[in-house]
């Protein structure tokens, strides 16, 4: 049996601890059932109850109280809890000399009563209501709400079901009589939940002004605590026992700090029933959250300018000691409002473009702060492919490389971590199959794959090619490379690189550089021959070849010699001109050389290589002009000569294709001087002939080269112009012509021609008008008149001025005249085909009286005249 010892727990204080623990009010003297404190095991906090040796050895409860297994109750602490949702309940109860279950274990015991409808059941702590109890002399107990397992160590754990609304009262005793800490911890497998509202209200304040303290007036909370019921009196006390006993009252004005929260006990007394209820009220001050702006960078690996960000990785908490509940928003206004419905739903997978700003809200109780996250989508990184070659000086086929030496060249201006792999798949996967001995990596020639992992998720791969080359072993070439001066111009383009394969047995992996100076070759500097494959060789030249592989090289000496070619001549062969642009040549007639064997080729390259010779050299048809190459060879050398294929130009006889002759005329056709012979289609053999008949003609001329050329031409009728119109002015003609060959010439009478088609200052009379074309053909005659008439005539039959005449009108037959007296009556009208307009008689054939008459003359060419004429009839009486 346990010995009965007295243990006094003084000023028990509750501290928040770790996950899967308990929450409890602070600074309580809950040493009786009546002063039991509410607890809420919500799987988030635990109890660290400081226990000290006291003088109370037994619980002072009502008669009939049954304490289960605990016949003695040293220094009891009383609690009660209310079930929120039905489920199984099981707790670990421990006591140690140190906090958080550290140090030496101390004996702890307990008894649980229930279930009750409320915590006011101190008179019902009977044996029937004991649901679990233990006095196991260890520092570890299990509370599983099962009384069937006795008072000693529990053979099995048998958590019982507790139901929503039930209240259980717990007494915990310290049998060890040593100061320590008691922990009551809910098991993870517990399924029941408990009502935390019984703990009473907690008021949190944010320390926005940063002074570390806050002052409240407790009287301001009376209506909220009492529910506004005027029949309930509210007083405030520093202990729960004081609240029950109406002692330890506190002033309404209270100050609490960041380091020390304020807990008071409100006594609620019903003035009508006398019932008393104690409510725990807590006030705590929370520091304003310290937030900081930050940036998240992520690599745009797919190049679309948008990436997926995990916003939760951003370090926005500026104080690692503060615990913040973070939420993420797309605007400052939404962050300040703090509505969860407006928060980003999944901040671990947020798609955004470069420059997007996210607003973070950090909540700590009723306090919050904000900061920003700037999202950067950075360009993907391109690594440089690097290749290096080293010489295998010891001939073992391998060399040692420090791979770190290539890091800066591979990265360029980029930054990040790189690894070296033997295959590309591992590099892309960034797995652990990378090369670890990077500072002394021994290998033969190999291609390594380099992988980069950089800030912001940037990934990239490239290659590092390492070549282990054999050391070159070169030899001088004693015999000179002799070249013939093909064109005898003192220079020949040769390929120096033909010597590469002769100075080293295997050229694989080696580079040859060519020099004219041995010192330059040994130094391997830039004074090398720029284009050794096309080098203009003159005379005898010594060439030094630097054969290199990586950092090793050797120099060989070779000689190139240019010998005189066979004397050759460039020749031109001509043929007479052919209309189809081709000619047939006997190439063997070209005297290109007096020695050697001559072979003919269509190209210089074929002639130099001796390929594809022309087979029909004595009758070779080719486009003219063109070039054929003659290869002249003897036993020692070859030379090349050019045979230019040309033609004698066809002479220009200056005879037009069509020679026109005007009707009744002839034309002289001249073939030009300078030809050996002339032969015309007319049978004539002179330089020129006269033609006066239409038809086809030709002439054959033979030049000094013996080439005969035929020129064809035709004699066609000339195209004389036509006078389309003659515009007659008061004393001028304007002639309009068409057809024929322009430009025209114009003439009055056909003897003297002028360029202008206008003739002015003409006198009255009739004129013969001609137009001559540029080919000499003259138009048909056209006649025109400048008209003028007298203003009086005397039709008296004396033979003098008896009729009214207009000289020249006869060339306009069909003209029409009308004559009126002074009263407007027509006295004469007629169509005129001569130059006589009127004989002075009226329509009845009678002579008209002496007076003035008016007329209208319409000339057949369109002219129209009007005026008056005076008739003087001296024999009027004898009409």
- Give the mean model confidence (pLDDT) for residues 855-877: 85
Strand order in the sheet with 815-820: 792-793, 864-871, 851-858, 815-820, 826-832
CB atoms within 10 A of CB 50: 16
746 SS3 class:
strand
Sign of CA dihedral 589, 592, 593, 599: negative
Nearest to 776 by CA among 717, 718, 843, 727: 718
DSSP 453: E
| CA–CA gap between residue 586 and residue 269 (Å, rounded) | 143
What SS3 class is residue 213? strand
pLDDT, one tens digit per residue, over 551-584 is 788 899 999 998 888 888 899 999 887 778 888 9
Task: Assign 498 to helix, strand or coil.
Answer: helix
Collapsed DSSP state (helix, strand, coil) of residue 692: coil
When pLDDT is averaged across residues 434-450 and rounded to a whole number, the result is 93
Residue 197: predicted pLDDT:
80
Give CA–CA dist 784/386, Å, rounded. Answer: 103
State mean pLDDT over 408-422. 90
Q: What is the DSSP string of 374-420?
A: EEEEEEPP-PPPEEEEEEETTSSS-EEE-GGGGHHHHHTT--SEEEE
Q: What's the pLDDT at 16? A: 27
Average pLDDT value for the chain? 86
pLDDT tens for residues 789-808? 888 999 988 888 989 998 98
In this prediction, residue 82 carries a pLDDT of: 93
How far apart are the C-alpha atoms of 677 and 776, rounded to whole Å?
31
pLDDT of 455 higher than 80: no
Q: Is the pLDDT of residue 52 over 60?
A: no
Mean pLDDT, residues 139-153 taken together: 80
3-state secondary structure of 431: coil
Q: How far is 831 from 848, CA to CA, in rounded Å?
A: 20
Say how many C-beta atoms besides its own lie within 10 A of residue 636's C-beta.
Answer: 11
CA Rg value for the chain: 67
Q: Which residue is it, tokens 């690189």? A: 497
The overall longest dimension of the chain from CA atoms, in Å, is: 201
The partner residues of 866 in beta bridges, in order of sequence, read: 856
Arithmetic mean of pLDDT, 195-221: 87
> What pLDDT shows up at residue 63?
81
Q: What are phi and psi of 791, to 5 degrees?
A: -95, 5
Residue 115, preceding bond cis, omega within 30 degrees? yes
pLDDT band at 875 (very low <50, low <70, confident <90, very high): low
Residues sharing a CB contact under 8 Å with residue 870, sequence separation 6 or more, in sequence order: 791, 792, 851, 852, 853
pLDDT value at 365 more than 80: no
pLDDT (0 to 100) of residue 71: 85
- pTM, rounded to two decimals: 0.38
Q: Taking a C-beta distance cutoff of 8 angstroms, is the pair 61, 32 a contact?
A: yes
Region 89-104: what's the mean pLDDT? 88
- When pLDDT is averaged across residues 314-333 and rounded to a whole number, the result is 90
Q: Is the peptide bond before 39 cis (omega within 30 degrees of 0)?
A: no
Do 697 and 713 contact (CB within 8 A), yes or no? Answer: yes
What was the pLDDT predicted at 2?
25
**Which range (6-15, 528-537, 796-805) has the least confidence?**
6-15
Segment among 70-74, 398-402, 801-805 with least mean pLDDT: 70-74
* pLDDT exceeds cutoff 60 at 186: yes
Q: Give the pLDDT of residue 58.
A: 66
Q: What confidence tens digit (pLDDT) does each residue in 464-511 have? A: 999 887 778 889 999 989 888 878 888 989 999 999 999 998 888 889
Confidence band, pLDDT 50/70/90 cuts, at residue 12: very low
The pLDDT of residue 487 is 80
Q: State the residue for tokens 């690894």.
A: 419
* Structure confidence at residue 468 (pLDDT): 85
User: Got the DSSP string for 253-271?
Assistant: EEEEESSS-EEEEEEEEET
Weakest-pLDDT range from 540-549, 578-587, 745-754: 578-587
**What per-residue string of b and e applies to 173-196 under the rule 16 or more CB within 10 Å gives b?**
bbbbbeebbbbbbbbeebebbbbb
Share of the chain above pLDDT 90, in %: 50
pLDDT digits over 692-707, tens only?
899 999 999 999 888 9
Cβ-proximal residues to 869 (8 Å cutoff; 6+ apart), any chain: 789, 790, 791, 792, 793, 804, 819, 838, 852, 853, 855
Give the helix/strand (H/E) hosting 767. Answer: strand 765-772
Question: Is residue 736 predicted with pLDDT exceeding 50?
Answer: yes
Does 625 sit behind a cis peptide bond, omega within 30 degrees of 0 on the bond before it?
yes
Percent of the chain whose predicted confidence (pLDDT) is above 70: 93
Task: Give residue 13's pLDDT band: very low, low, confident or very high (50, 70, 90).
Answer: very low
pLDDT of residue 47: 57
**Residue 17, C-beta contacts closer than 8 angstroms, at least 6 positions apart:** 45, 46, 48, 100, 183
- At 174, the pLDDT band (50, 70, 90 cuts) reads confident
Range 734-761 average pLDDT: 93
pLDDT on residue 466: 92
pLDDT of residue 18: 25
Alpha-carbon gap, residue 447 to 453, rounded angstroms: 20
Evaluate if residue 862 carries a pLDDT over 80: yes
The residue among 13 and 723 whose pLDDT is bigger is 723
Own/partner contacts of 756-760, CB < 8 Å, gap of 24 or more, are 758/732, 758/733, 758/734, 759/732, 759/733, 759/734, 759/735, 760/729, 760/731, 760/732
**Residue 14: band (very low, low, confident or very high) from pLDDT cuts 50, 70, 90:** very low
Q: Is 227 left (phi over 0), alpha (psi -120 to 50) or beta?
A: left
Q: What is the pLDDT of residues 626-643, one digit of tens each?
A: 999 999 988 878 889 999
The string of DSSP letters for 779-844 reads PPPEEEEE----SEE--SSSSSS-SEE-TTGGGSTTEEEEEE-TTS-EEEEEEESSSEEE-SB-TT
**φ and ψ of 605, to 5 deg:** -65, -45
Q: What is the pLDDT of residue 682?
A: 94
Q: What pLDDT does 198 receive? A: 82
């Amino acid at each position: 049996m346990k010995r009965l010892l007295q243990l006094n727990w003084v000023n028990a204080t509750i501290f928040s601890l770790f996950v899967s623990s308990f929450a409890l009010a602070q600074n309580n003297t809950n040493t009786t059932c009546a002063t039991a404190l509410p607890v809420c095991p919500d799987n988030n906090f635990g109890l660290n109850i400081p226990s000290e040796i006291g003088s109370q050895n037994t619980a002072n409860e009502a008669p009939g109280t049954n304490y289960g297994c605990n016949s003695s109750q040293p220094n009891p602490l009383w609690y009660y809890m209310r079930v929120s949702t039905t489920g199984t309940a099981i707790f670990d109860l421990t006591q140690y000399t140190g906090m958080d279950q550290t140090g030496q274990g101390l004996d702890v015991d307990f008894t649980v009563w229930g279930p009750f409808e409320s915590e006011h059941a101190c008179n019902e702590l009977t044996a029937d209501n004991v649901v679990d109890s233990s006095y196991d002399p260890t520092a570890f107990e299990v509370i599983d709400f099962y009384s069937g397992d006795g008072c000693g160590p529990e053979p099995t754990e048998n958590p019982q079901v507790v139901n929503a609304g039930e209240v259980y009262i717990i007494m915990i005793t310290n049998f060890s009589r040593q100061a320590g800490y008691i922990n009551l911890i809910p098991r993870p497998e517990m399924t029941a939940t408990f009502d935390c509202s019984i703990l009473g209200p907690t008021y949190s304040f944010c320390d926005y002004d940063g002074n570390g303290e806050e002052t409240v007036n407790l009287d301001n909370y009376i209506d909220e605590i009492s529910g506004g019921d005027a029949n309930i009196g509210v007083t405030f006390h520093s202990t729960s026992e004081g609240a029950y006993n109406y002692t330890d009252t506190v002033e309404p004005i209270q100050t609490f700090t960041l380091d020390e929260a304020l807990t008071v006990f409100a006594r609620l007394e019903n003035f009508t029933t006398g019932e008393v209820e104690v409510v725990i009220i807590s006030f705590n001050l929370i520091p304003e959250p310290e937030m900081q702006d930050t940036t998240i960078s992520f690599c745009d690996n797919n190049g679309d300018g948008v990436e997926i960000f995990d916003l939760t990785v951003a370090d926005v908490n500026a104080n690692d000691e503060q615990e913040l509940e973070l939420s993420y928003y797309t605007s400052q206004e939404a962050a300040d409002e703090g509505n969860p419905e407006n928060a980003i739903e999944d901040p671990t997978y947020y798609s955004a473009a470069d420059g997007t700003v996210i607003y973070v809200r950090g909540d700590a109780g009723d306090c919050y702060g904000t900061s920003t996250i700037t999202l950067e989508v950075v360009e993907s990184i391109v690594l440089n492919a690097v290749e290096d070659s080293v010489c295998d000086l010891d001939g073992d086929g391998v060399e040692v490389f420090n791979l770190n030496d290539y890091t800066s060249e591979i990265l360029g201006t980029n930054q990040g971590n790189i690894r070296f792999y033997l295959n590309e798949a591992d590099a892309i996967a960034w797995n652990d199959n990378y090369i670890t001995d990077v500072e002394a990596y021994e290998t033969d020639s190999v291609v390594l794959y380099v992988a980069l992992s950089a800030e912001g998720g940037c990934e990239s791969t490239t290659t590092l090619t390492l070549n282990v080359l054999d050391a070159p072993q070169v030899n001088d070439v004693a015999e000179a490379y002799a070249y013939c001066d093909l064109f005898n111009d003192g220079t020949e383009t040769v390929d120096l690189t033909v010597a590469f394969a002769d100075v080293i047995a295997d050229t694989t992996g080696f580079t040859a550089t060519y020099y004219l100076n041995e010192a330059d070759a040994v130094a391997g500097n830039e004074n090398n021959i720029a284009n050794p494959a096309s080098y203009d060789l003159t005379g005898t030249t010594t060439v030094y070849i630097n054969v290199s592989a990586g950092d090793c090289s050797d120099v060989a000496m070779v000689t190139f010699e240019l010998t005189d070619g066979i004397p050759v001549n460039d020749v031109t062969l001509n043929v007479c001109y052919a209309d189809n642009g081709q000619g047939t040549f006997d190439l063997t007639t070209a005297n290109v050389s007096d020695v050697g064997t001559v072979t003919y080729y269509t190209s210089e390259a074929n002639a130099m290589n001796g390929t594809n010779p022309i087979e029909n050299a004595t009758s070779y048809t080719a486009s003219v002009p063109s070039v054929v190459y003659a290869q002249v060879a003897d036993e020692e050398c070859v030379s090349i000569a050019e045979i230019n294929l040309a033609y004698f130009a066809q002479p220009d006889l200056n005879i037009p294709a069509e020679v026109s002759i005007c009707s009744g005329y002839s034309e002289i056709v001249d073939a030009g001087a300078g030809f050996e012979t002339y032969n015309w289609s007319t049978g004539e053999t002179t330089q020129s002939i006269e033609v006066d008949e239409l038809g086809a003609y030709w002439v054959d001329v033979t030049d000094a080269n013996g080439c005969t050329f035929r020129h064809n031409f035709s004699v066609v009728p000339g195209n004389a112009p036509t006078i389309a119109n003659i515009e007659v002015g008061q004393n001028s003609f304007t002639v309009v012509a068409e057809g024929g060959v322009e430009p025209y010439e114009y003439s009055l009478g056909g003897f003297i021609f002028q360029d202008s088609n206008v003739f002015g200052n003409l006198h009255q009379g009739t004129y013969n008008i001609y137009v001559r074309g540029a080919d000499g053909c003259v138009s048909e005659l056209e006649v025109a008149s400048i008209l003028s008439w007298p203003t009086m005539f005397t039709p008296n039959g004396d033979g003098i001025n008896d009729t009214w005449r207009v000289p020249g009108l006869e060339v306009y037959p069909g003209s029409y005249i009308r004559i009126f007296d002074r009263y407007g009556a027509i006295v004469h009208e007629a169509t005129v085909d001569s130059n006589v307009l009127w004989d002075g008689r009226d329509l009845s054939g009678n002579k008209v009286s002496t007076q003035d008459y008016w007329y209208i003359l319409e000339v057949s060419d369109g002219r129209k005249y009007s005026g008056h004429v005076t008739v003087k009839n001296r024999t009027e009486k004898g009409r």
